[in-house]
């Protein structure tokens, strides 16, 4: 009959010990209380556990104090599916013509789709975002990027849409315009084709497009003017060419991405003929826009070999300040704060210790591979893959490996002998 | 110096080329200057034909920055006189339609004003000519067709074949313009022509402001526990260090490098 709260030392002991076999069952049995307002309430007296010394311990991994069994499973929170946003009977469309460089959504495409969703939500009656993919599509999750409806064409009357074919693409857009009359036409203002196609479409539609638009709502648009020095405030037009980061990509929902039917337009004869990509000499590519750079520093001694490796790998040559000052490389090949700020996807640094000025210059590089003798230098901390070795030996093996790739013959034993002979000599 | 293929192609009848030039703006001092991309277009035009290209500008004839184009070795410049807020497209299209031209070159975007880059498309559309964006060079001209190279991202190039006459915009990756000489620039003749350019109605109610700095996008960690969000917000973006290979023969190390290069797709 007494109201005295009795402690259960056994349960306390189990609650303290996460490795106890009954721990999960005990913690899962604790039901969260729902308060009068409908919010889940946490009883602070029940969170955490009291150590034997009487000191209370909180488990930060367990925010609610309950359901420990579920939250302790890593990756389960990510697997939780976002709610589905569906537009059942759209009264209109917001068309987005995506770039899809390499068949995948670029971050620019995602920004434009995010803005398209914002514009569709701002409409009074339900509008659907119509994502138009012309060419090969390798992206599987268009719904996750914000597409309510999708029109995808990889070819038009056996003409592939992969190369440069703005006239064919325009004829498809004309057909879409005829059937769906989108409220807006959004293009990414990018060098990957969006700016070109959008400009052509705006001129064909006799619309004064907003170019380099970076702030868009239903009524007004702000566009960057020439040399990025002015902003133009104007009413939002029907055709928009959007700057990168014009809006945040969608996050909270996933979207249906239902395919829409489109009867292919009449075949047309294109005036501009695509004769395919030109093989470019990597040494002619400007350092700032090169994709793959092989850079040499103070650790490189055999410069003929370095040039040979760059040619064989198809890399653009770069150099650190020391190599340039010593006269081994021209000044326009210098990477770093006083040279060129590069944006290469892959940067192979050989014999470069990584002065801070150099590391600034390669700040935008995605993958850095370093070859160095000093395992403690700054470049090793920056690099994704570091090889601690003499550059000359690694270069020789790289040349052998590339010859093997091209001819399919192994030279491993020859080089081993050659290497020993050199050491002996 | 003309490429050999071009010299042959144009031996009978020299190519007639026009370059559309605008007044540029220095990005820091904001002084008027010759526009960089338009200068490259003039340079490309000079390299294509033994006959001097014609330069065309829509605007006011009193502009001194225009004389810098004449300093590149040209004798005259045609100015279609129009108000600063006039629509240049119909005036240009009317003028170009009467000229016997093969190629019209211009920059990709103007350095001041709206700078939308739509003008070459609009002019080409009014003339009914094809428009080729971002070319870097004209490789050869034969049978009434031109083979041009177009600039792509990452220094790549694409070959296109386009029938004459056509309009093309010249990419900043094209050859830089030669230096402008002061004497010829002062001696050159500016041919002033009146033209009936209408005011640009579409732009009448737009407002121009100095560019506002754009906010930088921050990577905000969402979801997870408070501890995880705190960790994501305070963690250093780099300094983790990658894989370090100290052991192994030189060949194994070279293989590791090559495997990474192949995985990244830069070595085929």
Asked if A204 has any chain B CB less than 8 Å from its own CB, the reply is: yes
At residue A62 the predicted structure's pLDDT band, cuts being 50, 70 and 90, is: low
Beta-carbon count within 10 A of A321 CB: 22
Residues of A in contact with B25 (CB under 8 A): 226-227, 229
pLDDT digits (tens, 9 = 90+) for A242-273: 999 999 999 889 999 999 988 888 888 889 99
Q: Is the pLDDT of residue A209 over 70?
A: yes
Q: Are residues B83 and B183 in the same domain?
A: yes
Distance between CA atoms of A259 and A314, rounded to whole angstroms? 41
Q: How many domains are there within chain B?
A: 2
In terms of residue numbers, what domain contains A309?
Answer: 285-419
Q: Are residues A337 and A290 in the same domain?
A: yes
Beta strands A385-388 and B243-245 are parallel
pLDDT digits (tens, 9 = 90+) for B2-57: 555 454 445 567 889 999 999 999 988 989 999 999 999 999 999 998 889 999 99
Nearest CA to A309 out of A350, A279, A280 is that of A350
Are A278 and B224 inside 8 Å of each other by CB?
A: no
Distance between CA atoms of A337 and A339, rounded to whole angstroms? 6
Torsion of CA B198, B202, B206, B210, to 10 degrees: -70
pLDDT digits (tens, 9 = 90+) for A128-147: 999 999 988 888 889 999 99
* Arithmetic mean of pLDDT, A390-402: 93
Residues of B in contact with A375 (CB under 8 A): 244, 246
Q: Are residues B103 and B176 in the same domain?
A: yes
Beta strands B166-170 and B131-142 are parallel
Q: Are residues A114 and A169 in the same domain?
A: yes
Distance between CA atoms of A100 and A295, rounded to whole angstroms? 31
Nearest CA to A310 out of A289, A332, A329, A337 is that of A329
Q: Is residue A413 part of a domain?
A: yes
For the ranges A63-67, A254-258, B252-256, which has the lowest average pLDDT? A63-67
Are A273 and B132 inside 8 Å of each other by CB?
A: no
Distance between CA atoms of B86 and A207, rounded to whole angstroms? 17
At residue A334 the predicted structure's pLDDT band, cuts being 50, 70 and 90, is: very high
At residue A410 the predicted structure's pLDDT band, cuts being 50, 70 and 90, is: low
Q: How close B115 comes to chain A (CA, Å)? A: 4
| Element housing A278 (H / E) | strand A273-278
Residues of B in contact with A207 (CB under 8 A): none
Beta-carbon count within 10 A of A24 CB: 14
Q: Are residues A327 and A413 in the same domain?
A: yes
Nearest CB to B206: which of A232, A387, A397? A232
Q: Are residues B17 and B144 in the same domain?
A: yes
Write down the mean pLDDT value for chain B. 88
Q: Is residue A81 part of a domain?
A: no
Q: Are residues A25 and A122 in the same domain?
A: no
Are B245 and A280 inside 8 Å of each other by CB?
A: no
Residue listed under structure tokens 């849409």:
A161
Q: Are residues B117 and B165 in the same domain?
A: yes
For the ranges A56-70, A402-416, B210-224, which has the lowest average pLDDT? A56-70
Can you give the pLDDT at residue A232?
A: 95
- Assign residue A329 a region: left if phi > 0, alpha if psi is -120 to 50, beta otherwise? beta
Beta-carbon count within 10 A of A332 CB: 11
Residues of A in contact with B130 (CB under 8 A): 271-272
Are A388 and B155 inside 8 Å of each other by CB?
A: no
Are B116 and A212 inside 8 Å of each other by CB?
A: yes
* Arithmetic mean of pLDDT, A353-378: 91
Nearest CB to A224: which of B211, B222, B250? B211
The neighbouring-strand residues paired with A294 are A317, A348
Nearest CB to A191: which of B153, B163, B255? B153
∠ CA A299-A305-A307 to the nearest 5 degrees?
95
Distance between CA atoms of B38 and A302, rounded to whole angstroms? 43
Residues of B in contact with A195 (CB under 8 A): 117, 133
Among all residues of chain B, which has the CA nearest to that of A212? Answer: B116
Asked if A286 has any chain B CB less than 8 Å from its own CB, the reply is: yes
- The CA-atom distances, in angstroms, between A7 and each of A11, A50, B254 are 9, 12, 66
The number of residues in chain A equals 425
At residue A366 the predicted structure's pLDDT band, cuts being 50, 70 and 90, is: confident
Residues 181-200 of A with CB under 8 A from B: 191-192, 195-196, 199-200
Chains A and B form CB pairs within 8 A to the count of 240
Q: Is residue A270 part of a domain?
A: no
Please give the full DSSP string across chain B, using - where no structure is assigned.
---HHHHHHTSSS---EEEE--EEE-TTT--EEE-HHHHHHHHHHHHH-SSPPEEEEEE-TT-GGGHHHHTTT-SEEEEEE--TTB-HHHHHHHHHHTS--SEEEEESS-SSTT--S-HHHHHHHHHT--EEEEEEEEEEEETTEEEEEEE-GGG-EEEEEEESSEEEEEPTTSPPPPPPPHHHHHHSEEEEEE--PPB-STTTT-EEEEPPPPPPPP----SS-HHHHHHHHHS-SS----EEE-SS-HHHHHHHHHHHHHHHTS--
| Structure tokens, B214 | 């754009």
Task: Please give the residue that has the higher pLDDT: either B30 or B220.
Answer: B30
Q: Are residues B135 and B13 in the same domain?
A: yes
Q: Are residues A244 and A292 in the same domain?
A: no
Can you give the pLDDT at residue A56?
A: 80
Residues of A in contact with B157 (CB under 8 A): 277-278, 280
Selected residue of B24, B116, B237, B241 to mutate for chain A interface (largest A Cβ count, 10 A): B116
Please give the full DSSP string across A52-91, using - where no structure is assigned.
TTS-EE--TT-TTSS-HHHHTSTTHHHHSPPPEE--SS-S
ipTM confidence score: 0.88
At residue A423 the predicted structure's pLDDT band, cuts being 50, 70 and 90, is: very low
Q: What is the CATH number of the domain that holds A295?
A: 3.40.50.1220
Q: Are residues A254 and A117 in the same domain?
A: yes
Residues of A in contact with B227 (CB under 8 A): 60-61
Distance between CA atoms of A343 and A293, rounded to whole angstroms? 10
- The CA-atom distances, in angstroms, between A59 and each of A20, A46, A68, A158, B223 are 16, 12, 10, 62, 18
Residue listed under structure tokens 């490789």:
B139
Question: Which one of B194, B215, B243 terminates a domain?
Answer: B194
Task: Please give the residue that has the higher pLDDT: either A300 or A102.
Answer: A300
Q: Are residues A35 and A104 in the same domain?
A: no
Q: Is residue A31 part of a domain?
A: yes
Q: Is residue A30 part of a domain?
A: yes
For the ranges A317-331, A399-413, B57-71, B248-262, which has the lowest average pLDDT? A399-413
Q: How close A281 comes to chain B (CA, Å)? A: 9
At residue A60 the predicted structure's pLDDT band, cuts being 50, 70 and 90, is: low
Contact assessment for residue B72 and residue B39, using Cβ atoms and an 8 Å cutoff: yes
Are B242 and A384 inside 8 Å of each other by CB?
A: yes
Q: Is the pLDDT of residue B254 over 60?
A: yes
Q: Is residue B203 part of a domain?
A: no
Residues of A in contact with B150 (CB under 8 A): 164
**Terminal Cα distance for chain B, rounded:** 37
Q: Are residues B117 and B42 in the same domain?
A: yes
Q: Are residues A96 and A59 in the same domain?
A: no
Q: Is residue A26 part of a domain?
A: yes
- Assign residue B234 a region: left if phi > 0, alpha if psi is -120 to 50, beta otherwise? alpha
Q: Is residue A96 part of a domain?
A: yes
Write down the mean pLDDT value for chain A. 86
- Assign residue A102 a region: left if phi > 0, alpha if psi is -120 to 50, beta otherwise? left
Asked if A202 has any chain B CB less than 8 Å from its own CB, the reply is: yes
Among all residues of chain A, which has the CA nearest to that of B109? Answer: A226
Instruction: Using CB atoms within 10 Å of the CB of residue B5, give its burial: 0 to 12 exposed, 13 to 18 middle, 19+ buried.
Output: middle
Nearest CA to B41 out of B64, B72, B65, B10 is that of B72
Task: Please give the residue that has the higher pLDDT: either A31 or B193.
Answer: B193
Distance between CA atoms of A198 and A334, rounded to whole angstroms? 37
In terms of residue numbers, what domain contains B42?
Answer: 4-194
Among all residues of chain A, which has the CA nearest to that of B237? Answer: A382
Q: Are residues B189 and B232 in the same domain?
A: no
Q: How close A311 comes to chain B (CA, Å)? A: 11
Are A280 and B160 inside 8 Å of each other by CB?
A: no
Instruction: Using CB atoms within 10 Å of the CB of residue B56, give its burial: 0 to 12 exposed, 13 to 18 middle, 19+ buried.
Output: buried
Can you give the pLDDT at residue B6?
A: 55
Q: Are residues A252 and A371 in the same domain?
A: no
Q: What is the CATH number of the domain that holds B62?
A: 3.40.50.620
Question: Which one of B146, B170, B194 terminates a domain?
Answer: B194
pLDDT digits (tens, 9 = 90+) for A278-299: 888 888 888 888 889 999 999 9
Q: Is residue B26 part of a domain?
A: yes
Q: Are residues B163 and B257 in the same domain?
A: no
Distance between CA atoms of A29 and A220, rounded to whole angstroms? 55
Nearest CB to B158: which of A164, A195, A367? A164
Can you give the pLDDT at residue A68?
A: 39
Q: Is residue B112 part of a domain?
A: yes
Q: What is the CATH number of the domain that holds A123?
A: 3.40.50.620
Q: Percent of chain A at pLDDT above 90?
A: 56
Can you give the pLDDT at residue B62?
A: 76
Q: Are residues B187 and B249 in the same domain?
A: no
Q: Are residues A143 and A37 in the same domain?
A: no
Contact assessment for residue A239 and residue A124, using Cβ atoms and an 8 Å cutoff: no
Q: Are residues A116 and A220 in the same domain?
A: yes
Q: How many domains are there within chain A?
A: 3
Number of H helices, E strands in chain A: 14, 23
pLDDT digits (tens, 9 = 90+) for B139-166: 999 889 999 999 988 888 999 999 989 9
Q: Is the pLDDT of residue B241 over 70?
A: no
Q: Is residue B188 part of a domain?
A: yes
Asked if A153 has any chain B CB less than 8 Å from its own CB, the reply is: no
Q: Are residues B154 and B245 in the same domain?
A: no
Are B245 and A277 inside 8 Å of each other by CB?
A: no
| Structure tokens, A51 | 């150590």
Q: Are residues A65 and A132 in the same domain?
A: no
Question: Which one of A44, A73, A102 terminates a domain?
Answer: A73
Can you give the pLDDT at residue B259?
A: 92
Are B261 and A369 inside 8 Å of each other by CB?
A: yes
Q: Is residue A264 part of a domain?
A: no
For the ranges A75-89, A136-150, B170-184, which has the lowest average pLDDT? A75-89
- The CA-atom distances, in angstroms, between A50 and each of A24, A26, A397, B27, B199 are 18, 16, 62, 66, 81
């Amino acid at each position: 009959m007494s109201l005295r709260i009795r402690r259960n030392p056994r349960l306390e002991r189990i609650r303290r010990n996460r490795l106890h076999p009954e721990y999960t069952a005990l913690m899962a049995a604790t039901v969260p209380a729902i308060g009068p307002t409908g919010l889940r309430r946490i009883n602070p007296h029940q969170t955490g556990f009291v150590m034997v010394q009487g000191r209370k311990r909180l488990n930060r991994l367990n925010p609610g104090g309950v359901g420990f069994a579920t939250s302790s499973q890593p990756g389960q929170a990510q697997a939780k599916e976002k709610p589905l946003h569906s537009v059942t009977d759209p009264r209109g469309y917001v068309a987005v013509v995506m770039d899809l460089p390499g068949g995948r959504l670029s971050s620019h495409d995602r920004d434009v789709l995010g803005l398209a969703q914002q514009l569709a939500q701002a409409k009074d009656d339900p509008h659907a975002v119509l994502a138009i993919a012309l060419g090969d599509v390798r992206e599987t999750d268009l719904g996750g990027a914000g597409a309510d409806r999708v029109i995808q064409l990889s070819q038009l009357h056996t003409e592939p849409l992969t190369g440069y074919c703005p006239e064919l693409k325009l004829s498809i857009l004309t057909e879409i315009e005829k059937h769906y009359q989108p409220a807006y036409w959004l293009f990414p203002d990018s060098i990957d084709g969006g700016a070109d196609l959008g400009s052509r479409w705006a001129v064909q539609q006799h619309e004064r497009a907003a170019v380099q638009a970076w702030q868009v709502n239903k009524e007004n648009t702000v566009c960057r003017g020439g040399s990025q020095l002015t902003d133009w405030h104007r009413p939002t037009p029907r055709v928009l060419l959007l700057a990168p980061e014009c809006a945040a990509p969608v996050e909270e929902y996933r979207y249906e991405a239902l395919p829409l039917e489109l009867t292919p337009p009449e075949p047309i004869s294109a005036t501009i003929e695509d004769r395919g990509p030109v093989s470019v000499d990597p040494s002619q590519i400007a350092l700032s826009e090169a994709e793959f750079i092989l850079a040499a520093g103070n650790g490189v001694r055999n410069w003929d070999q370095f040039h040979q490796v760059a040619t064989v790998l198809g890399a653009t040559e770069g150099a650190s300040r020391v190599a340039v000052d010593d006269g081994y490389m021209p000044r326009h090949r210098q990477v770093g704060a006083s040279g060129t700020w590069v944006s290469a996807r892959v940067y192979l640094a050989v014999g470069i210790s990584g002065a801070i000025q150099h590391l600034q210059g390669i700040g935008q590089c995605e993958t850095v591979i370093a070859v160095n003798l000093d395992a403690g230098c700054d470049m090793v901390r920056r690099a994704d893959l570091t090889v601690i070795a003499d550059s000359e030996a690694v270069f020789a093996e790289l040349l052998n490996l590339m010859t093997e790739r091209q001819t399919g013959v192994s030279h491993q034993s020859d080089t081993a002998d050659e290497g020993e002979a050199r050491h002996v000599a | 110096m003309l490429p050999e293929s071009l010299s042959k192609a144009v031996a009978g009848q020299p190519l007639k080329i026009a370059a559309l030039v605008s007044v540029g703006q220095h990005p820091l001092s904001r002084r008027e200057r010759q526009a960089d991309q338009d200068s490259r277009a003039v340079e490309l035009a000079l390299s294509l034909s033994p006959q001097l290209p014609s330069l065309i500008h829509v605007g006011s004839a009193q502009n001194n920055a225009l004389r810098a184009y004449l300093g590149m070795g040209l004798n005259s410049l045609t100015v279609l006189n129009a108000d600063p807020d006039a629509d240049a497209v119909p005036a240009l299209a009317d003028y170009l339609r009467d000229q016997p031209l093969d190629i019209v070159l211009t920059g990709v975007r103007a350095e001041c004003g709206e700078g939308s880059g739509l003008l070459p498309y609009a002019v080409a559309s009014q003339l009914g000519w094809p428009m080729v964006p971002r070319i870097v060079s004209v490789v050869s001209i034969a049978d009434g067709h031109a083979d041009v190279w177009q600039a792509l991202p990452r220094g790549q190039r694409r070959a296109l074949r386009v029938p004459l006459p056509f309009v093309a915009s010249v990419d900043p990756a094209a050859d830089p313009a030669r230096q402008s000489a002061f004497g010829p620039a002062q001696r050159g003749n500016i041919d002033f022509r009146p033209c009936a350019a209408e005011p640009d109605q579409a732009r009448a109610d737009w407002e121009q402001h100095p560019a506002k700095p754009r906010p930088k996008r921050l990577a905000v960690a969402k979801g997870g526990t408070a501890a995880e969000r705190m960790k994501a917000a305070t963690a250093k973006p780099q300094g983790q260090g990658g894989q370090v290979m100290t052991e192994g023969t030189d060949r194994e190390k070279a293989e590791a490098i090559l495997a990474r290069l192949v995985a990244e797709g830069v070595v085929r």
